[in-house]
Structure 1
């Protein structure tokens, strides 16, 4: 078999954070957030693409005003950007995080660095 198959949680209404792919080239993380849930405020540890597949994501980058992105949106965020992704408006927010290159290749830590403020 040439291909490698990965599976992710479907149809959950509870919080899910699962690292689906973690190869030397890329990380793919799947997240489901009920209303009120969010990532910690942190600095990106690679170049990141966020793919919103259900609900609306409220995204704050650096010290900018929050912006709302609906399902069907892909957002690019460069390495070492302060960010927080929140579900403030939807019953459920579901999205994928694509990190490429893998954080170890770009010089970032394996896990994002959290920010206090």
Structure 2
């Protein structure tokens, strides 16, 4: 078999899964319930974030938080301050791709 397959978690439990972490990309699957999210941090690569379900509330650098619903893809440049949250009752599910893969 040439291809390698990966399975993402299913359900509504909080998850931050490192699905693929290699020298090319970092591919993460994340699930957050109401008032959950990531600690504020700076992006260490170009970040491509796809909302699979729910509503993403994200503040970038010094901007006020913006909200994005399912089927939205965000492109966030390296070095951007990020505050990622789910401020809604519906479960938030996102795919995060970092490309190129961070060096550190």
Give the TM-score taking structure 1 as reference length: 0.86
Q: Is the 8 A contact 1:56 1:90 kept in 2?
A: no
SS of residue matched to 1:103: coil
Provide the aligned C-alpha RMSD in A. Answer: 0.8
SS of residue matched to 1:24: coil
Corresponding residue of 1:3 = 3
Corresponding residue of 1:113 = none
Aligned residues: 104
Corresponding residue of 1:115 = none
CA positional deviation for 1:38: 1.0
Q: Deviations over 1:1-28 (max 9, x none)?
A: 1111111101x22101110001110000
Spell out structure 1 runs of 4+ moving beyond 6 A. none
**Residue segments in structure 2 that go unaligned for 5+ positions in a row:** none
Corresponding residue of 2:54 = 55
SS of residue matched to 1:84: strand
Corresponding residue of 2:98 = 99
Give the Cα separation in 1 of the matches to 2:13 and 2:2.
34
Corresponding residue of 1:28 = 27
Give the Cα separation in 1 of the matches to 2:13 and 2:3.
30
SS of residue matched to 2:37: coil
Give the TM-score taking structure 2 as reference length: 0.96
Q: Deviations over 1:19-59 (max 9, x none)?
A: 00011100001000000101100000100000100100001
Q: Is the 8 A contact 2:12 2:31 kept in 1?
A: yes
